């Protein structure tokens, strides 16, 4: 479903540049859970950003089914992200001026999609955040904020959820709960999951582990 062909990403200028990732060939299958692991600075987040069109590769191509994401213009890539991808970030990235419910439906509004209120109510119920849906993000716990972020990632029925260190800002108990929810929701809703993590216990729950070293896949 998602395919990277000889993808490299460099930062800096032509005279002085450094490698993010280099010559990555990778396919993410429909419904597959993939963990990306490696030490700090090996290119894990760079790879995720390129895969999800947040960043454009320096060379190579990224495909979603038969769509060439690399050649798409910025506005088109944004539309593709909103309609096909869900994102869960380490720092949650919730909007303080919106309550929990409005944060969850925001991607559907931005995509100019008709909000599937029945679906929203279902994921709110399944994630156990019904009682906090009218609260502001700063009035709920870190674990609750992460559940809200997961609900937001699911709102547009994504083909792929990208999660960048999603348990990095929560304690051990909530870390396990977040991992449970991500893997369960991915499999229940038939969407693929790409998770960047330093936690090997979480990585081992994926269908496949991709290990990076110095910007290249080594295992």
**pLDDT tens digits, 117-144:** 999 999 999 888 999 999 999 999 888 8
| CB-facing half-sphere around the CA of 109: CA atoms within 13 A | 8
What pLDDT was estimated at residue 12? 84
C-alpha 127/C-alpha 174 separation (Å) is: 13
Per the DSSP assignment, residues forming a β-bridge with 89 are: 164
| pLDDT-above-90 percentage for the chain | 67
- The two structure tokens encoding residue 111: 């995509």
Q: Phi and psi (nearest 5°) for 86?
A: -120, 150
Residues 80 and 75: their CA atoms lie apart, in Å, by 9
Whole-number mean pLDDT of the chain? 90
pLDDT bucket at 111, cuts 50 / 70 / 90: confident
Whether domain 31-54+79-217 has CATH 3.90.220.20: the reply is no
What is the average per-residue pLDDT within 107-118? 86
102-105: which pairs have CB atoms within 8 A and are 24 or more residues apart?
103/137, 103/148, 103/152, 104/133, 104/148, 104/151, 104/152, 104/155, 105/155
CB-CB contact of 35 with 195 (8 Å): yes
**What's the pTM value of the predicted model, to 2 decimals?**
0.91
């Amino acid at each position: 479903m998602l395919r990277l062909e000889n993808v490299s990403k460099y930062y800096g200028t032509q005279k002085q540049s450094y490698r993010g990732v280099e010559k990555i060939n990778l396919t993410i299958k429909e419904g597959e859970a993939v963990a990306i692991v490696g030490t700090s600075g090996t290119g894990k987040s760079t790879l995720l950003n390129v895969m999800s069109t947040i960043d454009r590769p320096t060379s190579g191509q990224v495909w979603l089914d038969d769509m060439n994401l690399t050649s798409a213009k910025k506005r088109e890539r944004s539309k593709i992200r909103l309609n096909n991808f869900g994102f869960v970030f380490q720092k949650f990235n919730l909007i303080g001026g919106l309550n929990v419910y409005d944060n969850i439906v925001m991607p559907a509004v931005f995509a100019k999609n008709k909000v599937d209120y029945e679906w929203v109510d279902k994921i709110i119920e399944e994630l156990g955040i019904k009682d906090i849906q009218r609260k502001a993000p700063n009035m709920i716990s870190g674990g609750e904020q992460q559940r809200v972020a997961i609900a937001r990632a699911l709102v547009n029925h994504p083909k792929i959820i990208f999660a960048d260190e999603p348990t990095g800002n929560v304690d051990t108990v909530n870390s396990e709960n977040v991992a449970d929810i991500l893997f369960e929701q991915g499999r229940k809703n038939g969407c693929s999951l790409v998770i960047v993590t330093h936690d090997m216990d979480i990585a081992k729950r994926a269908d496949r582990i991709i290990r990076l070293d110095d910007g290249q896949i080594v295992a």
